[in-house]
Amino acid sequence: EFSGSVTTYEDYIRTRANVTHLSGKLAKSGAEMFLSSTVQFTIRHYHDVSYGMIILHKGSKYKITDINPVKSTQSIIITGELVNE
């Protein structure tokens, strides 16, 4: 009806992760307040993860900003930023 675009995501994997909260702050942009949060997820290396994916953790969505494979521990460290919707 209107000319807007909608992005949809589908489940790719469900896995356990070690979650570390790196930073967070409440910021104001114009008349709008938003939460900025950076979180690090550590998962096993056998998962295939890419930058176009979204991580869903405890009801919040995180955009992947960095993917760092660590061969010595056979893990992947993923850094993500909270998506404000």
**pTM for this one?**
0.81
The tokens for 81 are 């930023």
- Please enumerate in sequence order all residues whose Cβ is within 8 A of that of 22, keeping only pairs 6 or more positions apart, or say none: 38, 39, 40, 79
Residue 41: Cβ within 10 Å count = 20
pLDDT tens, residue by residue, 3-21: 677 778 888 888 999 999 9
Give me the chain's average pLDDT, please: 88
Q: How far is C-alpha 44 from the chain's CA centre?
A: 16
